[in-house]
Amino acid sequence: MLSVHTLAKLIDQYCSNSDRHYVYGTAGFRGPAATLDTVLFATGIIACLRSLALNGDVVGVMVTASHNPPVDNGVKVVEPDGSMMPELWEPLATQLANTLAIKGSSNERAQATLSWFEKELKDQLQSANKFYNEGVVPTLVVARDSRESGPKLLSCLVAGAKELFHAKIHDFGLLTTPQLHFLTSETAKGVSNVTELRYYRHFLQAWNHVAQLHGIGDHLPTISSLTIDAANGIGAPKVQELLSQWACRGQVHFINNKWTNPELLNHECGADFVKSNQRFPLGFNDSKGLGCSYDGDADRVVFYYVNESNKFCLLDGDRISALFAHFFSSMLKQAGLQSQLSLGIVQTAYANGNSTEYLQKTLQVPVSCVKTGVKHLHHEAVTKYDIGIYFEANGHGTIIFSPKFYKVVKEQERSIAVETLEAFSQLINQTVGDAISDMLGVLAALSISKWTPQHWGEEFTDLPNRLAKVIVPDRSVFITTDQERRLTKPEGLQAKIDETVKCFQKGRSFVRASGTEDAVRVYAEAANVEEVEQLTKKVKNLVMNSSQN
C-alpha cells in the first residue's frame, strides 16, 4: 500500500502526538485539541478504509467536540446513510490511532503501522483491500465546527486521506454536526452538487407543508416569542440562515450567537450548561416566551420557560420525547393507524423516572432503555418501531420512520392526519439528533396540539435530579452492566450505592465513566431536592473513596 519511508515522512509532518492512549468512544475521539493531530491523521485513514469497504461510497467526517470546552476537539465518522460508523469499526480506529502514536521514532511508528495494516488487510479489512486493489478511490465529505483548532486538525486528516489513498474529498467547511450527517446521506443518495442550501431548502419546505396543513401562518399560535441560545457555536449562523426565510422569524430573538469568538463556545450557555446546572443561559431575559439552547455543534436542544412563580422550568430531552409521543399517538389515532404502525420511545438511564412512568402509564407507549450514546438509541429505534422516538435527557435525539411507515401512510386515503404524518417525517432530520430540525418539530407539535410551554411542562412533574461529575485518576476502572445502570467494577462499589439509595424516598442513582470527558458521571434522583442533594453527595463520596483505595 505504501512505503515505510513515505509514511514516516507524513508522521513527521502531521503526527506530533505520540506515546499516548486514545479510545474511539461515545462520540468518536475526543480530548484536548493539542493532543489530537495523530488521531486526526488516523481517522482520515479509517474513513478511507470504511469508504473502500463500501466500494468507494461516501463517508462523512465531522471535526467537533460538541459540548466540550473550547480547548477540546474531536472527530467522528459517519456512514453513507448518515448514521454513525458501525461499532465493529471502532476498535480498528482505536488500534490504528494507538499504533501511529506508539513511543518511538517516526520510522518505528511507520513500521508498526504497516505491520498493523498487513495483518488487518488479511483479516478484518479484506473488503477494503479488495476494492483498493481494484483501483477504487475512497470518497469523503468533511466539515468542522467553529473551534480554533479545527483547520489544523482537519489538515492532518486530509493529508492522510489524500497522500495515502488519493481520496476524493468534498470539504463543506463550517457546518453543524447534523448538517454534515444530512449532507453525507444526500450525497450518498446520488444527488449531484450537494450544497448546504439543500439542507435549508429541505427543512423550510417541510415546515411550510406542515404549517399549511394546519393553518400556521407567520405567528406560532401558542408561544409569544422564542429565544435561541446557540452556545456561541456554529449553530448560530446556520439557524440564522435558515430562519431568515422562515415565516415566523418575527418572533425569534438570538442570544449567545458570537460564534466567531471560539473562546466563548459553551461558556455559561448552551444545552449542556442549562441541563447540568438547571438554570438559564447567560443573556436570557424573556420571562414570557419559550427559550431553547443548542450545544456547540447543534446536535442537542433543550427548552425552558419561566412559570407563574417566576421559576426556571426545564423542558429537556425527556419532555421532547413526551411531546412527540403525545403528538404521534394522537395523529395515528386520527389517521386510524394506531394498530398498524408501532410507536415507541427509547431512553437511557438518565431519563427521569417520572417521564418513563408518564410515557408508559399515561400515554401507554412502550419504552426501551439502552446505553448512553446516540448510536445505541438510534439502533433500538430503527429496529423496534415504525415511529421510533429517541431522546437522551440531555436533548440529543430524533425520530426514525420505518419503510413500513412510508408504505402504510402512502396507501391511506388523504386526510389532514395522514398528510401531517408524512410531512412531519420530512421535518425531522432522521440521520441524527439535530437541534434546528428538532426545534422546528417541537414548535410544530406545540402549535398543532395547541400546547403552551406551561401546558407542556405540566404534563408531568420531574423527580428532583442531579447530574454531577467526579474526576478520578483512572475512569476506565468503572465498568457497567444493565444498560449502564449498575457497576460491576470497582468491586463492592455497587453494593454500597444500593445501600445508600435505600435510605432515600424514590431514590435512584447510578455511576458511569463518561465517553467524552475525563470524568465519572454520577446521576441521582429522589423525592425532594434536599434528598437528591444528599444522595448525590453520598454517591460522589463513595466514588471518590473507591478511587483512593
Q: Which stretch binds ligand G16 (CB under 6 A): 243-251, 309-317, 480-488, 516-524?
A: 516-524
Q: Which of 144, 238, 521, 538 binds ligand G16 (CB under 6 A)?
A: 521
| Least distance (Å) between residue 78 CB and ligand G16 | 12
* 26 is a contact residue toward ligand G16 (CB under 6 A): yes
Determine if residue 516 is labeled as part of a ligand binding site. yes
C-alpha 132/C-alpha 236 separation (Å) is 40
Closest to ligand G16 by CB, 405 vs 478, is 478
Per-residue binding letters, 354-373, with ligand G16 (x by CB under 6 A): ------------------xx
Q: Which stretch binds ligand G16 (CB under 6 A): 9-17, 107-115, 145-153, 515-523?
A: 515-523
Q: State residue 298 phi and psi, 5-degree precision.
A: 60, 40
Closest to ligand G16 by CB, 100 vs 470, is 470
C-alpha 485/C-alpha 490 separation (Å) is 14
Per-residue binding letters, 269-308, with ligand G16 (x by CB under 6 A): --------------------------x---xx--------
Q: Which of 163, 318, 386, 517 binds ligand G16 (CB under 6 A)?
A: 517
Closest to ligand G16 by CB, 281 vs 453, is 281
- DSSP alpha helices (H): ranges in 103-234? 106-122, 126-133, 150-165, 177-188, 196-213
Q: Please name the residues in contact with 65: beta carbons below 8 A apart, sequence gap of 6 or more.
A: 30, 33, 72, 73, 74, 145, 147, 296, 516
Determine if residue 541 is labeled as part of a ligand binding site. no
SS (H, E, C) 375-402: HHHHHHHHHHCCEEEEECCCCCEEEEEC
Kindly provide the b/e burial profile for residues 380-408, where b requires at least 16 CB atoms within 10 angstroms of the residue's own CB: bbbeebbbbbbbbbbbbbbbbbbeebeeb
C-alpha cell at 252: 425569534
Q: State residue 215 phi and psi, 5-degree precision.
A: 60, 30
* 318 is a contact residue toward ligand G16 (CB under 6 A): no
C-alpha 228/C-alpha 235 separation (Å) is 10
| Least distance (Å) between residue 346 CB and ligand G16 | 12
Determine if residue 295 is labeled as part of a ligand binding site. yes
Per-residue binding letters, 370-409, with ligand G16 (x by CB under 6 A): --xxx-----------------x-x-x-------------
Nearest to residue 454, comparing CAs of 327, 288, 322?
288
Nearest to residue 518, comparing CAs of 467, 472, 466, 480?
472
| Least distance (Å) between residue 517 CB and ligand G16 | 5
Cis peptide before 490 (omega within 30 of 0): yes
% helix, strand, coil for the chain, step of 5: 45, 20, 35
Q: Interhelix angle for 126-133 vs 37-53, to 10°?
A: 80
Distance set, CA 191 to CA 194, 198, 294 (Å):
6, 10, 29
C-alpha 315/C-alpha 458 separation (Å) is 10
SS3 40: helix
User: Judged by CB under 6 A, how many residues of this single chain contact ligand G16?
Assistant: 18
| Least distance (Å) between residue 218 CB and ligand G16 | 32
Per-residue binding letters, 458-497, with ligand G16 (x by CB under 6 A): ----------------------------------------
C-alpha 59/C-alpha 143 separation (Å) is 12
Q: Which stretch binds ligand G16 (CB under 6 A): 91-99, 409-417, 463-471, 508-516?
A: 508-516
C-alpha 389/C-alpha 64 separation (Å) is 25
| Least distance (Å) between residue 426 CB and ligand G16 | 24
Q: Are strands 168-174 and 139-144 parallel, antiparallel or unpaired?
A: parallel
Write down how long the chain is: 549
Q: Which of 102, 279, 515, 534 binds ligand G16 (CB under 6 A)?
A: 515
Distance set, CA 142 to CA 40, 42, 150, 411 (Å):
12, 15, 11, 39
| Least distance (Å) between residue 394 CB and ligand G16 | 5
Closest to ligand G16 by CB, 211 vs 369, is 369
Determine if residue 146 is labeled as part of a ligand binding site. no
Determine if residue 393 is labeled as part of a ligand binding site. yes
Q: Can 339 be counted among the known catalytic residues?
A: no
Q: Which of 355, 516, 536, 546 binds ligand G16 (CB under 6 A)?
A: 516
Closest to ligand G16 by CB, 138 vs 373, is 373
| Least distance (Å) between residue 176 CB and ligand G16 | 11
Which residue among the candidates 3, 18, 66, 83 is catalytic per the annotation?
66
| Least distance (Å) between residue 361 CB and ligand G16 | 26
Q: Using CB under 6 A, which residues numbered 40 to 99 contact ligand G16? A: 66-67
* 262 is a contact residue toward ligand G16 (CB under 6 A): no
C-alpha 398/C-alpha 298 separation (Å) is 13
Residues that bind ligand G16 in the complex, under the rule CB under 6 A? 26-27, 66-67, 295, 299-300, 372-374, 392, 394, 396, 514-517, 521
Binding residues for Mg(2+), by number, are 66, 295, 297, 299
Binding residues for substrate, by number, are 392-394, 512-516, 521
- Provide the annotated active-site residues: 66
Binding residues, by number, are 66, 295, 297, 299, 392-394, 512-516, 521
